[in-house]
Structure 1
Amino acid sequence: MPDAAAVFLCCDDGKTPMQQHPDAAGLWTATMPVAPSYRFEAHFLDGAVYGWQDAYRYGSLFHDKWSQSPNGLRLWHSLGAHCVEVSGVKGTFFAVWAPNARRVSVVGDFNHWDGRRAPMRLQHGCGIWEIFLPDVTADALYKFEVLGADGIMRLKADPYGQQAERAPGNASIVTMKSAFAWTDKDWMTTRGSRHSPDAPISIYEIHLGSWRGQGGYEGLCVSLLDYIEDMGFTHIELMPVHEHPFAGSWGYQPVGLYAPAARYGKPDQLRTFVNAAHSRGIGVILDWVPAHFPEDPHGLAMFDGTALYEHQDSREGRHPDWGTLIYNFGRREVKDFLTSNALYWLEEFHIDALRVDAVASMIYRDYSRPAGEWIPNIYGGNQNLEAIAFLQDLNTAVYREAPGIMMIAEESTSYPGVTRPVDQQGLGFGYKWNMGWMNDILRYMSRESIHKKYHHHEATFSTVYAGSEHYILPFSHDEVVHGKKSLLAKMPGDANQQFANLRALYAFMWGHPGKKLLFMGQEFAQSREWNHDENLNWWEADQPQGRAMSSFLRDLNRLYRRYPALHGSDRDGFTWVDANADQDSIFVWLRHVPNDPAPVLIAINMTPVDREVQIGLPRAGNWREILNSDAAVYGGGNLGNLGGISALDMPMQGQPYGATLTVPGLSAIWLTPDEQN
């Protein structure tokens, strides 16, 4: 006990003064008979008295705890900090993997952050250090003081810490096992049908800190969920809520993968939010970041004085774009750390899906690297075979252990089989973001109308490969930052034409094969880029054009959910009626499912000139308008077809019937057969 003026050994029959060891300053010794219980008491010159129990009188709890994490899964049950009771004494069991460290101690507000007071035991063979500290209870702040193999002392947050101190602090927090009372059993048992390829999935992506800036996890339970329910989205996607010290990373540079971000609240408050969403029939998707991690001193970098979680060679271990470190996916303990983390969010927080960030950067060794600055795989190629194997094992494990969930890949290349099952040599994801469609359609829509006819293929090309994967069509946060402008501001023309173009774009998106994702603010056509330091421009949502755009998105979601033709067969439920009207920039297609009584015809005019077009139809009789983006209620000019058209016995465009359809400029018309047909 360094700095103590006196230390006593306290037994039932009194106190015995202890003596300072002559060769070790701060080490106090005494001899005592066998006693069933004893404590230490230290007195300091300022009059303070500090009492504690001897942590080393208790045997190792390691093997009992380790048995709770079979096969390297659910490691959060074994590692980290756990409130337990041993022989009637309450305290906390700490365990951390640091196989190359010379010494590891637990330091915290319970021992004056002094690494000499609680050195941990090393479990030889697995490299895990552990100790039970009596009287350390929930809410205590702690870190691990690690004397590394390189001789450097480091203070590290707990890699498995389940709660973290709010910035600027960065300590881990001892957390009681949650006793949260979930009430979402019905949702959990039926969610698989809501996530199947034939289900309507419409996702609202949100950054919690800048949506309305109120209340964090729990404070959004009413306002956000009311909004999502009213707008008709099926899922919320949370940008990363792992603990991250740098707000400007938006959560994509996490330090505490197991700790919900403290800036938004406590772990049980996040559970409250998810439970409330499920009670409304709304799924919750979490952005998850296994591709890389930052170099913050309290994080994983050089954890035990060696490249433990990362690669030693920067050509493998450092990401050139983000200045971050890349996990060593070939190391079993690192793979187990990440796989357990995925299960942690799915099981402990009832998260419905993980959207895996930056998959392309994981599976290619030369991602964003010039020649000579990357190391080929064992076959001389550029694929990261270890990362690919990790993703396959990850998806196999989570789909097996957490029924009904989705795994979503943000993968920006043409890597084959991202959503193909692992046993068919795929990566095993459920869905993949269609980045090719997103880039092509935004490039096309940003062109002046007079030039669009020369780039017609930019809007049609995605249908060539739409059935190759299970796709999500994303307009995410990445498209409205860093000088890219908001979606509205990308549109050409005057103010009215920009809104009309955006409505046409959304109609194109909601009618195109693939699930939907839209970043917050774009549903009411926010005019400026997103800024994580500012709330959305909610005043724009209250303007006539903003209200009209919200109404349009609400109706798109309603129709998308109502008509199976729009969501039930993304891979083969699409037929072009006219893909070649490039001179007029007209697009006409059918959405359908087998034995469908209500196919949907979609016609879109991407020029400001009103058109009357001849279209082929698969059925005779009346076809009624179910959507006209030029309707006055959406802010348009109210030109249309008086509610519908009649299909006549005049075959055209490969269909047995035909009709003349008015398609207003910069507008979309959706039609479906009358029920009486």
Structure 2
Amino acid sequence: MNATKRDNGGLRQRDIDALARAEHADPFAVLGPHPDGAGGQFVRAFLPAALSAKVISRSDGSVLAEMQQGSLPGLFSAHMAQPQDYQLVINWAGGEQVTEDPYSFGPQLGDIDMHLFAEGNHRDLAGRFGAQPMQVDGVDGVLFSVWAPNAKRVSVVGHFNNWDGRRHPMRLRHGAGVWELFLPRLGVGETYKFEVLGQDGVLPLKADPLARATELPPSTASKVAGPLGHEWRDQDWMEQRAQRHAYNAPLSIYELHVGSWQCELNDSGEVARLYNWRELAERLVPYVQELGFTHIEMLPIMEHPFGGSWGYQPLSMFAPTSRYGTAEDFAAFIDACHQGGIGVILDWVPAHFPTDEHGLARFDGTALYEYENPLEGFHQDWNTLIYNLGRNEVRGFMMASALHWLKHFHIDGLRVDAVASMLYRDYSRKAGEWVPNRHGGRENLEAIDFLRHLNGVVAHEAPGALVIAEESTSWPGVSQPSQQGGLGFDYKWNMGWMHDTLHYIQNDPVHRNHHHNEMSFGLIYAYSEHFILPISHDEVVHGKHSLIDKMPGDRWQKFANLRAYLAFMWMHPGKKLLFMGCEFGQWREWNHDQQLDWYLLQYSEHQGVKQLVGDLNRLYRELPALHEQDCQPQGFQWLIGDDAQNSVFAWLRWSSSGEPLLVVANFTPVPREGYRVGVPFAEHWQELLNTDAQEYAGSNVGNLGAVATEALPAHGQPLSLALNLPPLGVLVLKPAS
């Protein structure tokens, strides 16, 4: 073999040129150890900017060969008479590095992993792909892998190689389009990205779609994460969860945005810093317990580059945002909630993702995660891209994300955001701006199949966990089993009820008689789905006013209206959801950059609303009539639904064992004495709750705690009560035992 070839380690010029341009598609074919055909081996390493390098024995550190640079600066090679385990000693301008050769290790991802990934059925992507600390042949390091089937070359880059894509090009596993590389002597906490050479040149550096940890925004690199270092102590909760989530159990959800619920303020009242998950648990768990909610629901906590998206434009579907601490901190928060008897629901966004260049958009230079055609793949409303759920790998990616939160972090439920935008190809599009499905229809068949599959897989893999749809159309069977043609969700947000009742309550009481049916219309379809009644963050932003500021009238009337509306909601069939701040009547709209106006709780009216919410939750949880038959028509009975002139409603809620509760609501500021309401039995009815009570800062019009029945039939009932109805008030009564 001539000297020139030996200098270059026997490489052809085109291989050398491809390495120099960082375009070599198969670096393992030229780098690392290669037999010389005569019983020895060449060792080649491409180390741009290295001063020198040598090969030493891995067993005893003896020098095996000094490496030579050939015609390409940084391309080092050495020849050894016989193959043996070795290490590289590299001299850089900043010092000496001793390391194993990444190109001396064989493929690490198994064929089964690749097969399951390609068919979209790998349930634990974040546990196998991305960045996995591991030991190979006794050497500690990190296995990096990323899906980029149309890339010409992919490198992993970070501080460990000066972000130089020439240093660590990866091996392509052709069948799955996955690139992988084991880098020895790296560990947990290392920052990294992928440098991708697409068909049209090098792309902006890409964060790892499967990262389990990230840098703090606005920085965008991924971080190597180890196994979750948390010892769970929530076994009792997890064992009881399925029972707590039964349709006949109470479900009352406190929705919050983590960063703006409560913060640490400086002396001038500005936000000094956000609380860590552990600090948040110390404050939030006792508060939610005091209010009596069964669950919290958090706006998306998956890492997202833009805080103003509230988390609804996430880019790391497997990483809790670093804004509030580590994955271990997050797990400790969930654990604290569970030990405090509080379930945790996460908002989860499979509908779309942002266009940030470090993210999923045109990940390998092609529309990989999104549809190629913008009429299918671009959301005009949100300037985001739509996941191509018809693609196996994308469907598997989203499925694995859902399971990651439910299984890895013990999350009790996912609220799936923007389901309507997933179901319809013409969602928010005009004629000619959308592509029909293969049958010529407007339904997104791929998304429908995904949602049904998701709900089936979650039921099997995370028993007892809830999947809830935020779905704003009249799509049939959202919460019906998929075997019966439904989508298989456990619950659906009742957006129609929310819109109708908020519209009613915002009207001046003088005009409410013309809108009477808006409060009763929801009962016509109340059992067509398993419903959650949502007063969510969306209703208290963007000029819509806070919940109390929607109310008409003077200050007293606003508070009375708010109390009456909340009681109406809690006494209505359907599970409950209330956004933070509404529970004490915050005046200003929610601002994600500021904490709630906690100082308002020094005032009796605000304290009264908070106390009422606590009492409503207590009644809701303690009285079977208010939750046992939420999803069954026999749990509700109208007594008075047509008294539009007086804006009065009355109904019975029934438990499965036949115990009734009487609810009477007066939505005018006029007290009504001796208002007759029919009841089925009992000599006396006890007043359990009166939203006008003095303890809630009301005017204290009521019935002195109990009312005797009279033998006067009314409203189809054999007996009746003559009630004093408080102004803008709701009464709840039960038969006295």
Q: Check whether the contact 1:83–1:174 (CA below 8 A) recurs between aligned residues.
A: yes
Shift, 1:29, TM fit:
1.1
**Which residue of structure 2 aligns with residue 614 of structure 1?**
676
Q: Check whether the contact 2:64–2:80 (CA below 8 A) recurs between aligned residues.
A: no
The answer to whether structure 1 residue 482 and structure 2 residue 532 are counterparts is no
Shift, 1:73, TM fit:
1.6
SS in 2 for 1:72: coil
Q: Check whether the contact 1:355–1:407 (CA below 8 A) recurs between aligned residues.
A: yes
**Which residue of structure 1 aligns with residue 385 of structure 2?**
325
**What is the rounded CA distance, in whole Å, between the counterparts of 2:596 and 2:161 in structure 1?**
45
The answer to whether structure 1 residue 603 and structure 2 residue 652 are counterparts is no
* TM-score, reference length from structure 1: 0.98
The answer to whether structure 1 residue 576 and structure 2 residue 576 are counterparts is no
SS in 2 for 1:420: coil
- Stretches (4+) displaced over 4 A: 67-70
**Which residue of structure 2 aligns with residue 279 of structure 1?**
339
- 1:176-325 aligned at under 5 Å gives the runs 176-213=226-263, 214-325=274-385
Amino acid at match of 2:76: W
Which residue of 54, 71, 91 maps to 1:8? 54
Q: Check whether the contact 1:240–1:252 (CA below 8 A) recurs between aligned residues.
A: yes
Amino acid at match of 2:651: W
Q: Check whether the contact 1:360–1:413 (CA below 8 A) recurs between aligned residues.
A: yes
Amino acid at match of 1:285: I
Amino acid at match of 1:611: R
**What is the rounded CA distance, in whole Å, between the counterparts of 1:64 and 1:124 in structure 2?**
11
SS in 1 for 2:277: helix
Shift, 1:34, TM fit:
3.4
SS in 1 for 2:331: helix
**Which residue of structure 1 aligns with residue 491 of structure 2?**
431
Which residue of 181, 190, 193 maps to 1:131? 181
**Which residue of structure 1 aligns with residue 14 of structure 2?**
none
SS in 2 for 1:269: helix
Shift, 1:657, TM fit:
1.3
Q: Percent of aligned positions with the same letter in both sequences?
A: 52
**What is the rounded CA distance, in whole Å, between the counterparts of 1:534 and 1:15 in structure 2?**
63
Which residue of 28, 43, 50 maps to 2:76? 28
Which residue of 450, 458, 462 maps to 1:390? 450
* TM-score, reference length from structure 2: 0.90
Amino acid at match of 2:602: D
**Which residue of structure 2 aligns with residue 54 of structure 1?**
101
Structure 2 vs 1, CA of residues 477 and 47 (structure 1 numbering), >3 Å: closer, same or farther?
closer
The answer to whether structure 1 residue 81 and structure 2 residue 141 are counterparts is no
Q: Deviations over 1:457-508 (max 9, x none)?
A: 1111001000110000001000000000100000000001000000000010
Q: Check whether the contact 1:148–1:154 (CA below 8 A) recurs between aligned residues.
A: no
Shift, 1:37, TM fit:
2.9
Q: Check whether the contact 2:195–2:202 (CA below 8 A) recurs between aligned residues.
A: no
Which residue of 606, 612, 620 maps to 1:552? 612
**Which residue of structure 2 aligns with residue 401 of structure 1?**
461
Amino acid at match of 2:371: H
Which residue of 594, 605, 614 maps to 2:656? 594
Amino acid at match of 1:623: W
More deviation, 3-12/526-535: 3-12
Q: Check whether the contact 1:65–1:77 (CA below 8 A) recurs between aligned residues.
A: no
More deviation, 94-103/68-77: 68-77
CA-atom RMSD in angstroms: 1.3
SS in 2 for 1:439: helix
**What is the rounded CA distance, in whole Å, between the counterparts of 2:710 and 2:205 in structure 1?**
78
Q: Check whether the contact 1:68–1:77 (CA below 8 A) recurs between aligned residues.
A: no
Shift, 1:658, TM fit:
0.9
Which residue of 625, 630, 633 maps to 2:695? 633
Q: Check whether the contact 2:639–2:651 (CA below 8 A) recurs between aligned residues.
A: yes
SS in 2 for 1:370: coil
The answer to whether structure 1 residue 162 and structure 2 residue 209 are counterparts is no
Amino acid at match of 2:671: D
SS in 2 for 1:155: coil
**What is the rounded CA distance, in whole Å, between the counterparts of 1:159 and 1:399 in structure 2?**
25
Shift, 1:47, TM fit:
4.8
**What is the rounded CA distance, in whole Å, between the counterparts of 2:432 and 2:393 in structure 1?**
29
Q: Deviations over 1:598-654 (max 9, x none)?
A: x11110000000113210101131100000000000010011011111222222111
**What is the rounded CA distance, in whole Å, between the counterparts of 1:604 and 1:483 in structure 2?**
29
Amino acid at match of 1:605: N
More deviation, 396-405/61-70: 61-70
Shift, 1:674, TM fit:
0.9
Amino acid at match of 1:92: V
More deviation, 368-377/179-188: 179-188
**What is the rounded CA distance, in whole Å, between the counterparts of 2:608 and 2:286 in structure 1?**
19
The answer to whether structure 1 residue 42 and structure 2 residue 90 are counterparts is yes
Shift, 1:68, TM fit:
11
- 1:442-457 aligned at under 5 Å gives the runs 442-457=502-517
Q: Check whether the contact 1:143–1:156 (CA below 8 A) recurs between aligned residues.
A: yes
More deviation, 566-575/389-398: 566-575
Structure 2 vs 1, CA of residues 516 and 579 (structure 1 numbering), >3 Å: closer, same or farther?
same
**What is the rounded CA distance, in whole Å, between the counterparts of 1:160 and 1:79 in structure 2?**
7
Structure 2 vs 1, CA of residues 47 and 469 (structure 1 numbering), >3 Å: closer, same or farther?
closer
Q: Deviations over 1:327-380 (max 9, x none)?
A: 001111110000010000000000000000000000011111111101111121
SS in 1 for 2:454: helix
**Which residue of structure 1 aligns with residue 733 of structure 2?**
671
More deviation, 613-622/58-67: 58-67
> Structure 2: which 5+ residue stretches go unaligned?
1-46, 264-273
**What is the rounded CA distance, in whole Å, between the counterparts of 1:141 and 1:647 in structure 2?**
73
Shift, 1:48, TM fit:
2.5
**What is the rounded CA distance, in whole Å, between the counterparts of 2:718 and 2:467 in structure 1?**
41
Which residue of 633, 653, 661 maps to 2:723? 661
More deviation, 384-393/46-55: 46-55
Q: Check whether the contact 1:620–1:649 (CA below 8 A) recurs between aligned residues.
A: no
**What is the rounded CA distance, in whole Å, between the counterparts of 2:115 and 2:568 in structure 1?**
50
Q: Check whether the contact 2:612–2:696 (CA below 8 A) recurs between aligned residues.
A: yes
Aligned residues: 672
More deviation, 174-183/626-635: 174-183
Q: Check whether the contact 2:65–2:79 (CA below 8 A) recurs between aligned residues.
A: no
**What is the rounded CA distance, in whole Å, between the counterparts of 1:32 and 1:430 in structure 2?**
65
Structure 2 vs 1, CA of residues 250 and 93 (structure 1 numbering), >3 Å: closer, same or farther?
same
Amino acid at match of 1:627: L
> Structure 1: which 5+ residue stretches go unaligned?
none
Q: Check whether the contact 2:628–2:656 (CA below 8 A) recurs between aligned residues.
A: no
Structure 2 vs 1, CA of residues 636 and 68 (structure 1 numbering), >3 Å: closer, same or farther?
farther
**What is the rounded CA distance, in whole Å, between the counterparts of 1:661 and 1:526 in structure 2?**
32
**What is the rounded CA distance, in whole Å, between the counterparts of 1:588 and 1:440 in structure 2?**
18
Q: Check whether the contact 2:451–2:487 (CA below 8 A) recurs between aligned residues.
A: yes
Amino acid at match of 1:354: L
Q: Check whether the contact 1:641–1:662 (CA below 8 A) recurs between aligned residues.
A: yes
Shift, 1:557, TM fit:
0.4
Which residue of 384, 407, 421 maps to 1:361? 421
The answer to whether structure 1 residue 516 and structure 2 residue 570 are counterparts is no
**What is the rounded CA distance, in whole Å, between the counterparts of 1:69 and 1:628 in structure 2?**
58
**What is the rounded CA distance, in whole Å, between the counterparts of 1:86 and 1:79 in structure 2?**
15
Structure 2 vs 1, CA of residues 623 and 50 (structure 1 numbering), >3 Å: closer, same or farther?
same
Q: Deviations over 1:270-310 (max 9, x none)?
A: 10000111101100000000000001111100001100000
**Which residue of structure 2 aligns with residue 63 of structure 1?**
110
